[in-house]
């Protein structure tokens, strides 16, 4: 009898078409779920009859309580090599092997610039005006050349942000709690003396930090108040790094020129969530990792993970 594999969060219905699953389909029946499993009860009911689950990013938590409700589960494959919503100790107790995949930083980098440029040049309102017979030219674009790009975090994505910013002729400033002057200069950025200096002096602030106890709520009402009224905030990292209520208040008050956001406190966003109607906000539904090349990487290596597990030699084990 074949094992059963659930591929969840396949919103675009592409998981089984972007890569070749034939290396495992002789032994495994693959079933995709195109909707969101929002609660533990929904997850337990949907996944109870599966031996393998392939999960996308960190939208569906796998705590100890869920593992206890999935006695048939033997392999959990997560996209990326870091996942903060899986209880690895519980997985081990329940005999579940957890494996990951590689993940490219190119896709979130490109989306960050799409949001930044879209905000700076008013792309959405200008395009909508053309489609609806609105005014011909109604916004005054914000220039990038000669302006300051402030980067909160200078890791893999932040470092590449600095390179692109310099290519646009921007002055690049960076800060994080452990960032050194040498690392900043190596990436083509200057080291800000403090988070406050970066926020006060930047025209565009982009968040590129991992979520941790130190970074949760790092940008709240006091920090947003430091930003220039003509400045923009971009967050394609983790929603909890920026206080969502404080950001909404700043946008409604016009305290900053705008924000580009790809991550939210609840995903998918409920229909009545205030982020859906906030002014001065360019929002996308967590598209940072959603690109053909990244999906080919995720699902291609998921197939490899499953094949290796079936052969008794699991690869890319987490944590």
Show which residues are catalytic.
Answer: 238, 267, 286
Its sign, for the CA torsion 3, 64, 96, 288, is positive
**In the structure encoding, which two tokens stand for residue 12, read together?**
């675009």
Structure tokens at 193: 């003396």
Region for 286 from its dihedrals, namely left if φ exceeds 0, alpha if ψ lies in -120 to 50, beta otherwise: left
Kindly give, in sequence order, each residue whose CB lies less than 8 Å from that of residue 69, ignoring residues fewer than 6 positions away.
Answer: 40, 44, 48
Residues 165, 168, 172, 175, Cα dihedral to 10°:
-20
Beta carbons of 75 and 306 less than 8 angstroms apart: yes
The tokens for 120 are 């700076």
Q: Are 153 and 209 within 8 A, CB to CB?
A: yes
Q: At what angle do helices 123-132 and 106-120 cross, to 10 degrees?
A: 60
Q: Which helix (H) or strand (E) holds 67?
A: helix 64-68
Distance CA 304, CA 70 (A): 23
CB-based contacts of 68, cutoff 8 Å, min separation 6: 90, 94
């Amino acid at each position: 009898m074949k094992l059963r594999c659930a591929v969840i969060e396949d919103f675009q219905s592409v998981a089984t078409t972007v890569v070749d699953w034939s290396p495992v389909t002789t032994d495994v029946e693959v079933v995709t779920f195109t909707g969101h499993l929002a609660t533990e009860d929904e997850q337990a009911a949907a996944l109870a009859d599966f031996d393998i689950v392939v999960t996308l990013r960190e939208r569906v938590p796998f705590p100890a309580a869920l593992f206890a409700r999935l006695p048939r589960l033997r392999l959990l494959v997560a996209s990326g090599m870091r996942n903060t919503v899986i209880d690895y100790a519980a997985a081990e107790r329940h005999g579940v092997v957890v494996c990951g995949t590689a993940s490219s930083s190119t896709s979130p980098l490109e989306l960050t610039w799409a949001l930044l440029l879209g905000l700076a040049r008013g792309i959405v309102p200008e395009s909508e005006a053309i489609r609806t017979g609105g005014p011909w030219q109604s916004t005054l674009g914000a220039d990038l050349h000669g302006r300051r790009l402030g980067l909160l975090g200078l890791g893999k994505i932040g470092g590449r942000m600095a390179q692109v910013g310099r290519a646009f002729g921007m002055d690049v400033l960076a800060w994080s709690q452990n960032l050194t002057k040498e690392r900043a200069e190596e990436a083509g950025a200057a080291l800000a003396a403090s988070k406050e200096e970066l926020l006060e002096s930047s025209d565009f602030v982009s968040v590129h930090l991992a979520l941790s106890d130190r970074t949760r709520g790092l940008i709240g009402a006091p920090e947003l108040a430091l930003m220039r009224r003509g400045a923009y905030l971009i967050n394609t990292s983790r929603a909890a790094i920026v206080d969502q209520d404080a950001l909404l208040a700043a946008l409604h008050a016009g305290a900053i020129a705008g924000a580009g956001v790809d991550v939210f406190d609840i995903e998918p966003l409920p229909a009545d969530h205030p982020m859906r109607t906030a002014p001065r906000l360019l929002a996308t539904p967590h598209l940072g990792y959603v690109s053909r090349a990244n999906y080919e990487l995720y699902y291609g290596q998921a197939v490899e993970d499953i094949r290796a597990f079936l052969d008794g030699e699991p690869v890319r084990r987490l944590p």
